Structure formats: structure tokens, C-alpha cells
């Protein structure tokens, strides 16, 4: 996909880039996507980042699924990379997502705790042996008796955590073809309604910052039709 990196930079200093990633863009190369990923585009614009972090994913300290949009952090140098890896490892970062799910939740806010493990190359599943994963949610708005818009905060960062957890409690994310229930009607939305809208952390510079972005147009348009 065509992606103008400069137009999607939310914040930049000597240490990091904060980028608004669109849906449809893979964060780094893997067995399926070899090029034209976010990390490729970043290196094209910032060649020095090529030597930062892991060779296959330069500058990348966390990820978003291909069809999840929103805020993502890129390290611009090795010192910042090492710092941010520790920030994520020790959970000194606050991340929130907007998620539209099927159905009306009985509990308007709650905590979901289930262990997860990767199954195969992509899909995640519940597990009794892996480390616990914790997801908090709050209902923002309900659309009739069919949909609920949630503000979701993750305390851990497991693969597909939000998507699997919400399916587990009976409320899959709208547009998520991988984890939806078979009985769920197909949505006109061409990707899962999941958007990373908020980040709060202390940057490598020592300054604590918050970043907050609105829903992208495709998700706004979908909500307007409900």
C-alpha cells in the first residue's frame, strides 16, 4: 500500500518516532510479507535506523496487527531501543484502543484475564500454561442491541490479546474474520474495528508524554451508519 510516512508522524525527537499506522500496513517483514512494511518505509526515510535493534525488524519495539490502525513507537537509535524494550517489558507504558464489538455487555467495565499462546505462525489461543494476559475495558457507547464501542486498555502485550479476550467473553470485534463466531453476520467493514488511540510513557529523553488520536475515516464512517 502507498504510505506517506512524513504525513503520519505524530511526534519526533532525537530518540523516537510516534507514527499513526494505517490499517493494511504490516509492521515488519515475516514469512508472509517480505517487503513494503512499516519498518522498510522507516528505514528508507531514516537509513541510520537500519542498524537499530533486530536486523529483521529495525527500530521496532512493539507491533500492531496488519489490520489494526493507530499509534506505534519506533526507536531511532540503539540506546532508545534498549530503553523502550525495558519500558514495555516492565509495563511502564499505558496503551488504549477503541474496539467495536458485537452485542451488549452485561458488565459496562471489567477485567479479562486469560493466558495466551501463539498457535502456528499467526493465530493465538487460550492456554493454561502460558503467562497471564490482562485486558481492561469500558463501554463508551451502545448502538441499539447489536454493537458496543469499548475503550480497551491492555496491561500485557500478547499476540492478538484484545481480539482473543473479547471473543472469549462472547463479544468478538466487528470485522475480525479470524476470531469471530461462525453465527456472526459478516460486516461491511473490511478489517477489524480496532484502533490504538492512546499512549502514555516517559520518553528516553526523560519527558513524560501522552499521545491521543481520533478514529480514522473508515471507522468513523462505519459508526455513522449504525
Domain of residue 187 covers 92-226
Mark whether 133 and 213 lie in a shared domain: yes
Burial 143-176 (b: 16+ CB within 10 A, else e): eeeebbbbbbbbeeebbbbbbbbbbebebbbbbb
pLDDT of residue 30: 66
Rg (CA), the chain: 17
Mark whether 110 and 208 lie in a shared domain: yes
Q: What is the pTM of this model?
A: 0.90
Mark whether 63 and 116 lie in a shared domain: no
Mark whether 116 and 63 lie in a shared domain: no
Q: 15, 65, 67, 176: which is the annotated catalytic residue?
A: 65
DSSP assignment, residue 173?
A: B
Question: Is residue 65 flagged as an active site residue?
Answer: yes
CATH at residue 150 = 3.30.2350.10
pLDDT of residue 117: 60
Mean pLDDT by 10 residues, the chain (226 residues): 89 98 88 76 96 94 94 98 96 96 95 72 51 89 95 85 90 88 68 96 97 97 92
pLDDT of residue 122: 44
Mark whether 71 and 180 lie in a shared domain: no
Asked which of 90, 120, 139 is the last residue of a domain, the reply is 90
C-alpha cell belonging to residue 73: 513507537
| Domain count across the chain | 2
- Per DSSP bridges, beta strands 147-154 and 132-143 are antiparallel
- Per DSSP bridges, beta strands 69-75 and 194-202 are parallel
Mark whether 117 and 211 lie in a shared domain: yes
Mark whether 97 and 196 lie in a shared domain: yes
pLDDT of residue 68: 96
Mark whether 23 and 81 lie in a shared domain: yes
Mark whether 26 and 77 lie in a shared domain: yes
Asked which of 73, 90, 107 is the last residue of a domain, the reply is 90
Q: Is 183 exposed, middle or buried (0-12, 13-18, 19+ CB in 10 A)?
A: exposed
pLDDT of residue 33: 59
Mark whether 157 and 188 lie in a shared domain: yes
Mark whether 78 and 182 lie in a shared domain: no
- Give CA angle at 194 (174, 85), nearest 5°: 145
Amino acid at each position: 500500500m502507498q504510505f506517506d510516512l512524513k504525513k503520519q508522524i505524530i511526534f519526533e525527537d532525537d530518540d523516537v518516532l510516534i507514527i499513526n499506522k494505517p490499517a493494511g500496513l504490516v509492521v515488519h517483514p515475516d514469512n508472509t510479507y517480505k517487503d513494503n512494511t512499516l519498518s522498510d518505509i522507516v528505514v528508507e526515510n531514516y537509513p541510520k535506523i537500519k542498524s537499530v535493534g533486530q536486523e529483521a525488524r529495525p527500530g521496532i519495539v512493539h507491533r500492531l496487527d496488519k489490520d489494526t490502525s493507530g499509534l506505534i513507537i519506533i526507536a531511532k537509535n540503539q540506546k532508545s531501543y534498549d530503553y523502550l524494550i525495558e519500558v514495555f517489558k516492565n509495563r511502564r507504558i499505558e496503551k488504549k484502543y477503541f474496539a467495536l464489538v458485537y452485542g451488549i455487555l452485561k458488565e459496562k467495565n471489567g477485567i479479562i484475564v486469560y493466558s495466551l499462546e501463539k498457535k502456528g505462525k499467526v493465530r493465538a489461543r487460550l492456554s493454561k500454561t502460558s503467562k497471564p494476559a490482562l485486558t481492561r475495558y469500558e463501554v463508551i457507547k451502545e448502538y441499539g442491541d447489536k454493537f458496543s464501542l469499548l475503550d480497551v486498555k491492555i496491561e500485557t502485550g500478547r499476540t492478538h490479546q484484545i481480539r482473543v479476550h473479547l471473543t472469549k467473553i462472547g463479544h468478538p470485534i466487528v470485522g475480525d474474520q479470524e476470531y469471530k463466531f461462525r453465527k456472526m453476520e459478516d460486516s461491511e467493514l473490511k478489517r477489524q474495528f480496532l484502533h490504538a488511540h492512546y499512549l502514555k510513557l516517559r520518553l528516553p529523553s526523560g519527558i513524560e508524554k501522552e499521545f491521543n488520536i481520533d478514529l480514522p475515516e473508515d471507522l468513523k464512517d462505519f459508526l455513522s451508519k449504525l
